[in-house]
Structure 1
């Protein structure tokens, strides 16, 4: 057992939390859409073929803005394939994931699904195999109210009113050699700038996201951001970050400090963006859209991909269907804490992805839908993290890391609103429980009254590899913390090894 102390001063504000921080990501990939959110023959399907059991879980998850339709998929996508009469839509080969896309679901159907789950649409345009004109065409189709051939077409397809899409991604992972249309930073930056200028001529109110690096380990990381922003600084509002984490070689302790990598990633991108601003003598601040993040066992996908023959192009195959453990969920919760700790610059984030594909929600064709372990930290944080993000000071023991040296055993962040305060904590140690004392003296002083615990949640399992499966969908869950209490202006609680917790004070 180790001891830790956390100092909570509600005046130590990071920023007002943008609800887009709790965004999601839906890509035409694997069984995400077909057999995931859309299964017309399912007992729970509504009149449009959408699974209502999945809709209920997505609502419970609490996702705000959802990025669509990719991802790698978008770099070969013709958006026109997904509109018009369903029977006339073409089948296409998806080169990104070596599958066949039927185009049964497109912009109109997906927008209808978003209305059912209560989320906003964030669109990505294809700057891999297409360009500026096609992006402007899509924007006109989606957002314009003036009568034109495009808006007449939209009305004829059943949506007279504009979709009013606010956020737009200028391509996807264009720094990656795996990406269709991959190019260097200068070439991408020039294309993104031209496209952004054209889109803003049509709709000045939109917010635009330039492609940042696909990961901090990319060989072009840093120089990519600088060169892209030198071209696009005046044209965009955000630059993207993408990061995925997994346990390597059974080293759970190293995996548990993954959030340190995310922290350094964010801080490096912020420093680069601000250096570009300084060189331009500009007060403008480029924000971060962390529009792909998750735990993803990429090595499993690479093994699966090698099983496809050159003539095999399946429809909605089982791809990237990672089964998440209690350990994965604790790391996942720590990543969420890190995003909140940088809420001043991370104004949007997209959990990649939502259903079946590296997802918090799983489904079985004709069968049930269930929550993976990662569902719980996201749904609880999305619900409780309201108002302002508050930085806390932590005094704790450390855990060893080959990459980062000695890392604090505990990580934490708080949020404050008019009704109370929420605290989110993680114990990164594989061996030691931690007794945490959270000093509430400054909080009660500012409020002028005492506080009490109204709810608490603990995600922990003695078997860190335990997971929720089709056979045992409720094997891992959350429970209330044992003996959490306020004593003499201090919140006392104990975190077992490999655990994530949330406490609400009112």
Structure 2
């Protein structure tokens, strides 16, 4: 049995726990919105047509910030289509996902949904095929109290109070040739800088996110961030990161170590941003908004993409069904985001419902939790206070994709009266015996210890078996004299809460 030891020092604080780390993402894509969030006529639907069974699951998930309405969708979006009387809203073609968009859910409806879930709106503007003035118009409609043409239009549309959106994304994945209106780094940087400057002139306290690379494998990665930030550094607050992971060719060992690549991605983007800041002799620091991250079986989607040759409303797209191994990776990626809270101050799990999502629904039927739901919801609930850097002594193994990886990974958080430790065991066959020194926390008892694992690492939750995989109590966890001991099953994610 592999053995590991972890030292936790209450003084080794990385940063506060950022509640925006537990954000998610809703795009007008597939069934995320229609028959996901919104299904008039469903037994649980409220007067707006939103499924309250989904609302309850989103509240349990603990998502805090929701990025909306895209994603690739935003690059062809006319925001004006989605406000006003529903019967007058136009049906449009969405080139990004080759679908029909009815615009029955728009900004005002979505803002009401956010209140049901206690979530904050992170709004994306279309800088790809539109420009500065439509972005300013949307800002006026969303945030100005009243007394102007567009703010009064919002009031007339039934929303007297402004939405007061603080975070705004300046487009989406503008380096990607799949993106409608994609640009070079120089062209996008100039456009984003002009748009950001104008938006900040309207409201200096906005928090603006400029597009970074669509992934660390993009040929322009690094140079894209440098060029874009040289134009926008003085006007924006965040640069975005997007990363998706999947198991390739049966290489589960590499897949379980995906967090190593996320760490590399963050390191590179932060170093590039700081390089630009030093060149500008600026005291300002640009933070990272990791506003798309997840497990996504993208290769399989790309291979089947050619069959989607019809214009359909809310087709079933990207409805990955997640395994135990996928959930372990998602839990580990979230641990990495916590551990980088000094610079990653906002993140969005992509996406929320049906589309590569922790929550699934059936039209007219139930909503249920995917395996990936659990590490996210439990971490969101338990993590509080400050993130503490762990000192980990554990065996390592070699991976084909990421080099040497630790068998055990961990991160901890501590507040005035509680603490939490999150762990993964990447070993495919053996349990790991872990001892954790928590004396500096002053903890006196374990209040919760749960593990997500299964003898079948490819077990899934489905419509037919919605609770096939659920976390179980880790009965072997023990705390004595400031030393926490616990056994981690193979390919598992674990959370321990202390008082």
Shorter-chain TM-score tier: over 0.9
Any conservation in 2 of the 1:422–1:504 contact (CA below 8 Å)? Answer: yes
1:34 and 1:404 mapped to 2: Cα distance?
38
CA distance in 1, matches of 2:7, 2:346: 27
1:48: how far off? 1.4
Aligned to 1:32: 32
Q: Which residue of 2 aligns with 1:319?
A: 317
- 1:368-387, aligned counterparts within 5 Å? 368-387=366-385
1:322-360 CA-to-partner distances (Å, cap 9, x unmatched) read 000000000010000000010000000001000000000
Deviations 1:185-216 (A, max 9, x none): 01000000000000011111110000001100
Take 1:212 and 1:17, find their aligned partners in 2: how far apart are those partners? 23
Q: Give the match for residue 361 of structure 2.
A: 363
* Counterpart check, 1:436 vs 2:434: yes
Q: Does 1:481 align with 2:479?
A: no
2-structure distance, mates of 1:167, 1:308: 34
1:360-414 CA deviation, whole Å, 9 max, x = no partner?
0000011110000000000000000111111100000012111222211111000
Q: Which residue matches 2:327?
A: 329
Q: Do 2:237 and 2:286's aligned partners in 1 also have CA atoms closer than 8 Å?
A: yes
3-state secondary structure, aligned to 2:473: coil
Q: Which residue of 2 aligns with 1:155?
A: 155
Tell me the TM-score normalised to structure 1 length.
0.98
Superposition deviation, residue 419 in structure 1: 1.7
| 2:456 corresponds to which of 448, 463, 466 | 463
Q: Deviation at 1:487?
A: 2.2
Q: 1:146 to 1:44 in 2, by over 3 A?
A: closer
CA distance in 1, matches of 2:152, 2:70: 26
Cα distance, 1:146 vs structure 2: 4.4
> Does residue 239 of structure 2 align to residue 239 of structure 1?
yes
Q: Distance in 2 between matches of 1:273 and 1:188?
A: 16
Pairing 1:453–2:446 present = yes
Q: Tell me the CA shift for residue 46 of structure 1.
A: 1.1
Q: What is the rounded CA distance, in whole Å, between the counterparts of 1:482 and 1:18 in structure 2?
A: 30
Secondary structure at 1:306's aligned position in 2? helix
Task: Give the deviation of 1:254 after TM superposition.
Answer: 1.1
Taking the aligned partners of 2:256 and 2:63, their CA distance within structure 1 comes to 25
User: C-alpha offsets along residues 121-144 of structure 1, whole Å, 9 cap, x if unaligned?
Assistant: 110000111111110110011011
The CA distance in 1 between the partners of 2:249 and 2:6, in whole Å, is 33
Tell me the residue number matched to 2:53.
53
2:240, 2:76 → 1: CA distance? Answer: 20
Mind listing any 5+ residue stretches in structure 1 that lack a counterpart? 445-449
Question: Does residue 505 of the first structure (1) align with residue 495 of the second (2)?
Answer: no
How far apart are the structure 2 equivalents of 1:247 and 1:404? 13
Q: Distance in 1 between matches of 2:88 and 2:449?
A: 52
Instruction: Give the counterpart of 2:412 among 414, 432, 442.
Output: 414
* SS across alignment from 1:21: helix
Distance 2:296 2:483 in 1: 38
Are 2:485 and 1:492 equivalent residues in the alignment?
yes
Moved over 3 A (4+): none
Q: Distance in 2 between matches of 1:403 and 1:318?
A: 31
Tell me which residue corresponds to 2:20: 20
Query: CA–CA distance in 1 between the matches of 2:401 and 2:105?
Result: 43
State how far apart, in whole Å, the 2-side matches of 1:186 and 1:59 are.
Answer: 41
Partner of 2:89: 89
Match of 1:179 in 2: 179
- The alignment covers a number of residue pairs equal to 499
TM-superposed deviation, 1:117: 1.0
- Please state whether the residue corresponding to 2:307 is helix, strand or coil: coil
Aligned to 1:348: 346
Matches of 1:271 and 1:126, distance apart in 2: 28
Aligned to 1:276: 276
- Unpaired runs of 5+ in structure 2? none
Contact 1:453 1:485 in 2 (8 A): yes
For structure 1, which segment, 371-380 or 144-153, has the greater mean C-alpha deviation from structure 2 after superposition?
144-153
